[in-house]
Amino acid sequence: MTGESTFHISLDRIEENIAVLITREGRQWLMSAEMLPEGAGEGDVLKVTMAVDPEETEELAGRIRDLQQRLLDRTRERHEQ
Protein backbone atom coordinates (compact mmCIF):
# COMPACT_ATOMS: atom_id res chain seq x y z
CA MET A 1 0.00 0.00 0.00
CA THR A 2 1.40 3.39 -1.00
CA GLY A 3 -0.29 5.49 1.67
CA GLU A 4 -2.55 7.03 -0.96
CA SER A 5 -5.93 6.10 -2.33
CA THR A 6 -7.12 7.33 -5.72
CA PHE A 7 -10.61 6.98 -7.16
CA HIS A 8 -13.01 8.72 -9.54
CA ILE A 9 -16.14 10.68 -8.74
CA SER A 10 -18.49 12.58 -11.04
CA LEU A 11 -19.66 16.15 -10.59
CA ASP A 12 -23.43 15.82 -10.92
CA ARG A 13 -24.39 19.45 -10.33
CA ILE A 14 -23.71 22.63 -8.39
CA GLU A 15 -26.53 24.08 -6.27
CA GLU A 16 -26.10 27.29 -4.29
CA ASN A 17 -22.29 26.91 -4.31
CA ILE A 18 -22.53 23.28 -3.16
CA ALA A 19 -21.03 20.65 -5.45
CA VAL A 20 -23.02 17.43 -5.59
CA LEU A 21 -20.63 14.59 -6.39
CA ILE A 22 -21.64 10.99 -7.14
CA THR A 23 -19.39 8.00 -6.49
CA ARG A 24 -19.36 4.97 -8.76
CA GLU A 25 -21.36 3.16 -6.06
CA GLY A 26 -24.07 5.85 -6.27
CA ARG A 27 -23.26 7.58 -2.99
CA GLN A 28 -23.61 11.34 -2.85
CA TRP A 29 -20.92 13.68 -1.51
CA LEU A 30 -21.54 17.35 -0.84
CA MET A 31 -18.77 19.93 -0.67
CA SER A 32 -18.20 23.59 -1.28
CA ALA A 33 -17.94 24.29 -5.00
CA GLU A 34 -14.95 26.49 -4.14
CA MET A 35 -12.96 23.31 -3.49
CA LEU A 36 -13.42 22.05 -7.05
CA PRO A 37 -10.48 22.29 -9.43
CA GLU A 38 -10.55 25.26 -11.77
CA GLY A 39 -12.59 24.53 -14.87
CA ALA A 40 -14.55 21.62 -13.39
CA GLY A 41 -18.14 21.52 -14.57
CA GLU A 42 -21.26 19.43 -14.36
CA GLY A 43 -20.72 16.00 -15.89
CA ASP A 44 -16.96 16.02 -15.39
CA VAL A 45 -15.28 13.00 -13.82
CA LEU A 46 -12.76 14.01 -11.17
CA LYS A 47 -9.81 11.99 -9.94
CA VAL A 48 -9.62 12.17 -6.14
CA THR A 49 -6.45 11.30 -4.28
CA MET A 50 -6.47 10.96 -0.52
CA ALA A 51 -3.48 10.57 1.74
CA VAL A 52 -2.97 10.71 5.48
CA ASP A 53 -1.33 13.97 6.57
CA PRO A 54 0.58 13.17 9.79
CA GLU A 55 1.39 16.81 10.57
CA GLU A 56 -2.24 17.94 10.27
CA THR A 57 -3.36 14.89 12.24
CA GLU A 58 -1.01 15.79 15.10
CA GLU A 59 -2.06 19.44 15.01
CA LEU A 60 -5.73 18.45 15.23
CA ALA A 61 -4.99 16.03 18.08
CA GLY A 62 -3.21 18.86 19.91
CA ARG A 63 -6.17 21.22 19.50
CA ILE A 64 -8.52 18.51 20.78
CA ARG A 65 -6.27 17.85 23.80
CA ASP A 66 -6.18 21.59 24.56
CA LEU A 67 -9.96 21.84 24.33
CA GLN A 68 -10.42 18.79 26.55
CA GLN A 69 -8.05 20.27 29.13
CA ARG A 70 -9.87 23.62 29.12
CA LEU A 71 -13.20 21.83 29.59
CA LEU A 72 -11.76 19.73 32.41
CA ASP A 73 -10.33 22.84 34.09
CA ARG A 74 -13.66 24.65 33.75
CA THR A 75 -15.50 21.65 35.25
CA ARG A 76 -13.07 21.51 38.18
CA GLU A 77 -13.47 25.27 38.81
CA ARG A 78 -17.25 24.94 38.92
CA HIS A 79 -17.08 22.06 41.40
CA GLU A 80 -14.69 24.00 43.63
CA GLN A 81 -17.10 26.92 43.97
User: What pLDDT is stored for residue 35 in this prediction?
Assistant: 96
Q: For residue range 2-12, what is the model confidence (pLDDT) as tens digits?
A: 689 999 999 99
pLDDT tens per residue across span 33-46: 999 999 999 999 99
Cβ atoms 30, 17 nearer than 8 A: no
pLDDT(79) > 90: no
pTM, two decimals, is 0.69
Cα 60 from Cα 30, distance rounded (Å): 23
Domains and CATH numbers, the chain: 4-80 (2.40.50)
